């Protein structure tokens, strides 16, 4: 029996738990012909998404009264951008993933990329990476915890980053100033710039409605950015202006309506 991909397996596990009222790790392991370690990772990921509750030795459905919209927290635009961004990553790449909901949406699409080395400054990104079945090598920047950005920042993090080099940096932004580059509400921009210095390719993942925003804090200049990945609602004029700055624009396919 060929091995099902992770997303298909987790979807089926979710359905089985809801149908049966409870499923054990052992039963799921036998059904999918995979290890109990893999099943435990699946259950942990499903619980984190608010789809079920783990119990000793297995899982049970989420009580109806506490079902949330956790699955909807990642917008369709973010999902399409993440899928497009994942296409840029080759197996065995060394990548940096900055904190942020858009960049974090990339993680589920890395499960079939073998031999990845991933550094991040965000605990939630590291935790999601830890749940991947392909078990990439995970590096943390360390540093000082910043509750505003929910990430590590500061001189220690910058020093750690300078000890490495990376193939790609995946970073978000609060806005794009078409004349200057990416902008942010966060005044702690030093680490982002060091990340960009240490990566051969800097990829900005951003939704089109943020393009044209003028925010005082300039994060990355256009000459520090390699590629912009955005959704299909970007205007032709914005594409033209960004490409004029020597930056590649990749437009993600519109998510399917259903």
**Domain of 109: which CATH number?**
3.40.50.1360
CA proximity to 191, closest of 137, 246, 119? 119
Q: How confident is the model at residue 255 (pLDDT cuts 50, 70, 90)?
A: low
- 62 and 82 in a single domain? The answer is no
Asked whether residue 234 is assigned to any structural domain, the reply reads: yes
Q: How confident is the model at residue 71 (pLDDT cuts 50, 70, 90)?
A: very low
- 107 and 180 in a single domain? The answer is yes
Span 124-133, mean pLDDT? 89
Domain end among 49, 66, 83: 66
Domain count, the chain: 2
Q: How confident is the model at residue 121 (pLDDT cuts 50, 70, 90)?
A: very high
Per-residue CA distances from 137 to 92, 143, 253 (Å): 10, 19, 30
Q: In this predicted model, what pLDDT tens digit does every residue of 134-160 receive, in sequence order? A: 889 999 999 999 877 789 999 999 999
Q: Domain range for residue 100?
A: 74-251
- 173 and 227 in a single domain? The answer is yes
Residue 117 has pLDDT above 90, yes or no: yes
Domain end among 44, 66, 88: 66
- 118 and 204 in a single domain? The answer is yes
Query: What pLDDT is recorded for position 106?
Result: 94
- 51 and 92 in a single domain? The answer is no
- 22 and 150 in a single domain? The answer is no
Span 111-130, mean pLDDT? 93
Span 65-82, mean pLDDT? 67
Cβ atoms 203, 169 nearer than 8 A: yes
- 24 and 144 in a single domain? The answer is no
Asked whether residue 16 is assigned to any structural domain, the reply reads: yes
- 115 and 37 in a single domain? The answer is no
- 150 and 230 in a single domain? The answer is yes
Q: In this predicted model, what pLDDT tens digit does every residue of 1-19 receive, in sequence order? A: 344 478 789 889 988 998 8
Q: CA angle, 47 as apex, 95 and 63 as ends, to 5°?
A: 155
Looking at every residue in the chain, the average pLDDT score rounds to 88
Query: What pLDDT is recorded for position 222?
Result: 97
Query: What pLDDT is recorded for position 4?
Result: 47
Domain end among 66, 95, 118: 66
CA torsion 165-166-170-173 (nearest 10°) is 20
Span 181-200, mean pLDDT? 90
Asked whether residue 257 is assigned to any structural domain, the reply reads: no
Q: How confident is the model at residue 63 (pLDDT cuts 50, 70, 90)?
A: low
pLDDT, greater one: 71 or 197: 197
- 99 and 78 in a single domain? The answer is yes
Lowest mean pLDDT among 48-57, 75-84, 88-97, 212-221: 48-57
Q: What is the CATH number of the domain that holds 60?
A: 1.10.10.10
- 37 and 114 in a single domain? The answer is no
- 20 and 130 in a single domain? The answer is no
Q: How far apart are CA 243 and CA 203, in angstroms?
A: 14
Query: What pLDDT is recorded for position 226?
Result: 98
């Amino acid at each position: 029996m060929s091995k099902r991909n992770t997303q298909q397996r987790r979807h089926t596990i979710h359905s089985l738990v809801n149908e049966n009222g409870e499923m054990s790790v052992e039963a799921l392991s036998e059904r999918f012909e995979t290890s109990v370690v893999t099943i435990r990772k699946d259950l942990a990921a499903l619980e984190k998404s608010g789809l079920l509750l783990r119990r000793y030795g297995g899982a049970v459905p989420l009580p109806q009264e506490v079902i949330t919209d956790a699955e909807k927290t990642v917008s369709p635009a973010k999902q399409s951008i993440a899928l497009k961004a994942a296409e840029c990553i080759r197996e065995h790449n060394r990548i940096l993933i900055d904190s942020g909901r858009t960049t974090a949406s990339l993680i589920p699409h890395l499960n079939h990329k073998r031999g990845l080395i991933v550094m991040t400054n965000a605990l939630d990104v590291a935790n999601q990476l830890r749940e991947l079945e392909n078990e990439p090598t995970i590096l943390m920047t360390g540093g000082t915890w910043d509750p505003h950005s929910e990430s590590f920042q500061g001189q220690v993090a910058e020093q750690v980053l300078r000890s490495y080099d990376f193939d790609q940096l995946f970073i978000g932004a609060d806005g794009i100033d078409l004349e200057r580059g990416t902008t942010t509400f966060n005044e702690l921009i030093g680490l982002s710039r060091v990340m960009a210095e240490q990566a051969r390719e800097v990829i900005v993942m951003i939704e089109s409605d943020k393009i044209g925003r003028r925010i005082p804090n300039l994060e990355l200049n256009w000459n520090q950015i390699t590629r912009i990945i955005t959704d299909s609602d970007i205007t032709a004029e914005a594409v033209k202006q960004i490409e004029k700055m020597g930056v590649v624009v990749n437009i993600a396919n519109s998510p399917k309506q259903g």
